[in-house]
Amino acid sequence: MTPTLILAIAGGVLIAAGIYLLLERSLMRILAGVMLAGNGVNLLFLVASGPAGLAPIVGEDPELIADPLPQAMVLTAIVISLATAALLLAMSYRSFQLEGHDEVADDVEDAIVRRRAEADLSSEAYVDTSTDPNDDSDSESGGRFDGGRVR
């Protein structure tokens, strides 16, 4: 195998491990996933840029000069990943201060969707038809919305 292929495989492994860690609930694991995936993408940028060449100096042969754009993109990605890491570290620290752990809590709306799926209801609002249809006290505009059911 050539060194380029080995580096491409290493970049793919880094991205795969990063995506696996991104799916965890702990903010520290999410941070590790973002960093791994970012480093994998940076490695793939450099592999895709081609072989090393001479420095881009005026007067050199254009065929031998390395393209500086991928290197500039990687440097920009490093700065952005540093800022993202600082933000996630601050969020993790604050979450640990407030709750004693850094795990992401379930969203209330996600719980409602999960309950609807378990009850085999459609994603649209379920209208409760067990009440008397002639009753004028529960109109659609004056009814109470309670967890996907109009009463």
The answer to whether 31 and 88 are in contact (CB under 8 A) is yes
What's the pTM? 0.64
All structural domains of the chain with their residue ranges: 3-51+67-99, 108-150
User: Three-state DSSP class for 106?
Assistant: coil
The answer to whether 33 and 21 are in contact (CB under 8 A) is yes
Task: Tell me the per-residue pLDDT of 36-85, one tens digit each, with 9 for 90 and over.
Answer: 999 999 999 989 888 877 777 777 777 788 888 888 999 999 999 999 99
Q: What is the mean pLDDT of the chain?
A: 80
Task: Tell me the per-residue pLDDT of 108-135, one tens digit each, with 9 for 90 and over.
Answer: 888 888 888 888 655 455 555 556 555 5
**Any idea which residue has 């969203």 for tokens?**
107
46 compared with 142, residue with greater pLDDT: 46
Q: May I ask the CATH architecture of the domain 3-51+67-99?
A: Orthogonal Bundle (1.10)
Instruction: Give the residue ranges of DSSP H helices in 23-144.
Output: 27-48, 69-99, 108-118
The DSSP element (H or E) to which 127 belongs, if any, is strand 126-127
**What is the DSSP-derived secondary structure letter of residue 9?**
H
**What is the DSSP-derived secondary structure letter of residue 151?**
-
Instruction: Give the residue ranges of DSSP H helices in 100-142.
Output: 108-118
